[in-house]
Structure 1
Amino acid sequence: MVTIENKRGLKYFLFGSLYFSEGLMIAITTVATSLYLREQAISIPLTTLIIGIVNIPWMLKFVWGPVIDYFIRFGRKTFIILGGMLSVSCMFLVSFVDPSVSLLPFTALLFLSHVGIGFIDVSTDAWAIDVSTEKDRGKINGSMFAGQYGAWAIGAALFPFIGSQYEYQTVYLLNALMILLILLFPFIVTETSKYNLKQKIASLVLTEFKKKTVLLVAVFSPLVFMNEGIMSFLMPIYMRDGLGLGDVQIGFIAMILPVFLAVGSLVGGAVTDKIGRKSTLYVFIGLNIVCTASLIVADSWWKLSVIYGTIGFLMGGHSTASCALFMDVTNPRIGATQYGIFTGIANVGLNGGGMVTGSLVVALGFARTFLYAAWVFGPALLVLYFIQIKKQKEMDKTQTSI
């Protein structure tokens, strides 16, 4: 067995690899499934709606979190394995379903596969909170997001190519196999549980969310991720229907975003540990507003590639800083629940923004939708201004006294 308590490299590898499985699911949903459904003549609004529905489990982290915290004596790793097996099983089954004939079963299986990944995500986050400190949370989040976005990049390039050459059913089988292989590493890692008793989750959560800072962070979380949701859902459709690109070309251009997201995550993680959460967020979000708005001039593949890559870098930076902020204000005793609430609400913004993207495009057109995606950062910056961040020692003292 392998221990990670005092080994930073193994920490980064473990959490990065688990988030890699999440990135594969993002690529499957936002790129492969989007193209697959459009290939089957499913309308743009219905396509984005289905993608939004199968992503709903990401918004239900407040459900998975209490389950994991309540059974904390079994550790975080147990739920990673169980969630992973659920996801692998559903990915395998969905490869045999034709969405043009059986759209509901297709959607249901994808939904359940995301439930499994949701358990992996919440358990991984809680485990990371257990073994991290304020000094390395930015870097740990950077490694996690780098893994997620790296997988997204690989999937964005690989899945459309495989789908166009060997049919998209093969893509779902391949994804199941890759997630199964990722699950092998947690098996050999020793988890040291700090809490061995059942906890009164509800009372602890209520106490935490009576704090002004915690409430403001909860409001901030969906606002800061809404832009990412719109971009993730919108760009594959824009490349196909706006620029008239083919699936393989779309895949390679779509790969640009997660590649730069991964780089931005690593840079953002290091920067936020150095200069603080709010300063990092102001810089990365401010620049992203400008770049997102500039998509209105992206009328060719090369212009889109340049702007898209820059957006990815900035998005990775502020996503990492945001999640480090979530961890900073999370009580480790209810790490899965409280952090799950923050990220679950964040996914409401991300997924909610994505779900309405198709309707926005139909109503406003692509250019105005890009401008709207830039505008949504405004409320996020306003809320961020009022968030007061305590020092680690002060927070630890407060959480210990609860």
Structure 2
Amino acid sequence: MPSNTTRKLLFTCLYFSEGAPIGFIWLAMPTRLRAREVPIEQITWLTAMLVLPWTLKFLWAPLIDLLRSRSWTLRHWIVTAQTMMGLTLLPLLWIDPLEQLGWIAATLLVHAVSAATQDVAIDAYCIATTTLGERGQFNGWMQTGMLAGRAIMGGGALILSTYVGDGFVTVMLIVLTTFSMSLVITLPQQVLVSTDGDRSFRLREIGQSIKTMLSRRNTWLGLLFGGVGGAAFKSLEVFYGPFLIDRGVSQDTIGWFSMIPMIGMMIVGSLLGGWLTDRGGVKKTVGGALVLLSTSVVALGLADQFSGLQAETYAFPILSIAALGIGIFTASSYALFMDLTEPKIAATQFSTFMGSTNGCESWSSYASGLIIAATGYSAAMYSMAAVSLVMVPVLFLLDTRKSEQVA
């Protein structure tokens, strides 16, 4: 069995490979497009569309639970999906996002389907190899990997492209997206969930587990919270780059801020969130983080509307505080959803919860784009923060009291 440290390294690297293309597609590309005067509503439309596979991944997640055996494991799913992720990024070497936005959208949509499939398999593998008392820490390290990848290929890509060109940045993106499959292949396999037996029996067993899942109040409250609770920061992560561009901040400055202070505070928040979750209670940690980041988003809107200062003066400190809240919220809420998940259908149930959070990103990004185009950035910030805060009482209706299970 791999050691605790080895497992943390594996999942940190896997999430790093997820974070690299997310940083590029959801930060670097929108910022570049806005710098080239692409309308903000087109940028948020593209992002909202690319989030859809992450929202709908629960539709094919049962296949990952069902089509598993000793000859085709979760690790095979991860390697196959990661290979497709790399292949679908290759066209970025010759497609101009500005001139051929439709083609780039189609290519990245296939990439998003592959990435969402990999995410389902990684999360199921994590649930199968961890216990309740350590999932906060694991999610903290996984988010650290995710955020490091986002930093390098989000803000880092904006900086590097100035010196080495877009082509080199794209090659680097492909390498960082696919390197972690080598760890999946070489590390000893840990099988804690039985994958043998009659396929029809397993299909009935999974079907019964899904039926039970859908009958529980926890499931529907969790989906409601996931689909609405993160609106404040999910939308902020998409439009803060274009927002800073519109306030006169240079692309390089945005890149440095995103790569170091912003992502750095998210990493601190993720590790802190994991620690607080395992020691102070998951619901208290999630709720406190949600209040912190929503308040920060409101403060950013107020400062932008009334301060009259240069954007760097007010936006960078407030965004850094929001980033701390985002890190705490992400690590603790993922641990919350893992605790609510039945290991036998881990791929299906956890991906359903995560699909709701990605659905939140999709609708909140699109809605924010429409609000920004109509009335400005501040109105979008106030609206999304209010929606998030309404979900705090829902969080405390969830029942997280369950006996510890080893899958």
1:379 Cα deviation from its structure 2 partner:
2.5
- Aligned ranges 1:231-246 → 2 under 5 Å: 231-241=236-246, 243-246=247-250
Equivalence for 1:195: 194
Q: Does the aligned pair in 2 maintain the 1:224–1:380 contact within 8 Å?
A: yes
1:277 Cα deviation from its structure 2 partner:
1.0
How far apart, in 2, do the equivalents of 1:286 and 1:53 lie?
28
1:312 Cα deviation from its structure 2 partner:
0.8
Gap regions ≥5 residues in structure 1: none
Q: Does the aligned pair in 2 maintain the 1:64–1:122 contact within 8 Å?
A: no
Q: Does the aligned pair in 2 maintain the 1:281–1:321 contact within 8 Å?
A: yes
Identity %: 24
Equivalence for 1:80: 78
Gap regions ≥5 residues in structure 2: none
Equivalence for 2:348: 337
Q: 1:368 aligns with which of 379, 384, 399?
A: 379
Q: Deviation per CA, 1:84-113, whole angstroms, max 9, x where unpaired?
A: 110100111222111233222111111111
Residue 224 in structure 1 maps to residue 220 in structure 2 = no
How far apart, in 2, do the equivalents of 1:106 and 1:184 lie?
28
Q: Deviation per CA, 1:279-313, whole angstroms, max 9, x where unpaired?
A: 11222222222211110215421321111111111
RMSD in angstroms over aligned alpha carbons?
1.8
1:317 Cα deviation from its structure 2 partner:
0.7
Q: 2:319 aligns with which of 308, 316, 321?
A: 308
> Mean alpha-carbon deviation: is it higher for 360-369 or for 195-204?
195-204
Paired letter, 1:92: L
Give aligned pairs, total.
391
Q: Does the aligned pair in 1 maintain the 2:232–2:381 contact within 8 Å?
A: no
Give me the TM-score of the superposition, normalised by structure 2: 0.91
Q: Does the aligned pair in 1 maintain the 2:226–2:353 contact within 8 Å?
A: yes
Equivalence for 1:356: 367
How far apart, in 2, do the equivalents of 1:370 and 1:67 lie?
38
Equivalence for 2:5: 9
Residue 249 in structure 1 maps to residue 248 in structure 2 = no
Q: Does the aligned pair in 2 maintain the 1:57–1:118 contact within 8 Å?
A: yes
1:13 Cα deviation from its structure 2 partner:
0.9
1:216 Cα deviation from its structure 2 partner:
1.0
Equivalence for 2:274: 269
Q: Does the aligned pair in 2 maintain the 1:164–1:247 contact within 8 Å?
A: no
Equivalence for 2:40: 44
Q: Does the aligned pair in 1 maintain the 2:17–2:149 contact within 8 Å?
A: yes
How far apart, in 1, do the equivalents of 2:232 and 2:166 lie?
28
Q: Helix, strand or coil for the counterpart of 2:173?
A: helix
How far apart, in 1, do the equivalents of 2:110 and 2:147 lie?
22
1:214 Cα deviation from its structure 2 partner:
2.0
- Aligned ranges 1:90-129 → 2 under 5 Å: 90-129=88-127
1:71 Cα deviation from its structure 2 partner:
1.1
Equivalence for 2:181: 183
Paired letter, 2:221: L
How far apart, in 2, do the equivalents of 1:227 and 1:245 lie?
22
> Mean alpha-carbon deviation: is it higher for 274-283 or for 384-393?
384-393
Residue 35 in structure 1 maps to residue 39 in structure 2 = no
1:335 Cα deviation from its structure 2 partner:
0.5
How far apart, in 1, do the equivalents of 2:48 and 2:161 lie?
21
1:166 Cα deviation from its structure 2 partner:
4.2
Equivalence for 1:211: 216
> Mean alpha-carbon deviation: is it higher for 223-232 or for 140-149?
223-232
1:40 Cα deviation from its structure 2 partner:
4.2
- Aligned ranges 1:123-202 → 2 under 5 Å: 123-193=121-191, 194-197=193-196, 198=199, 199-200=202-203, 201-202=206-207
Q: Does the aligned pair in 1 maintain the 2:48–2:362 contact within 8 Å?
A: yes
1:169 Cα deviation from its structure 2 partner:
4.0
Q: Does the aligned pair in 2 maintain the 1:84–1:179 contact within 8 Å?
A: yes
How far apart, in 1, do the equivalents of 2:299 and 2:213 lie?
40
1:359 Cα deviation from its structure 2 partner:
1.4
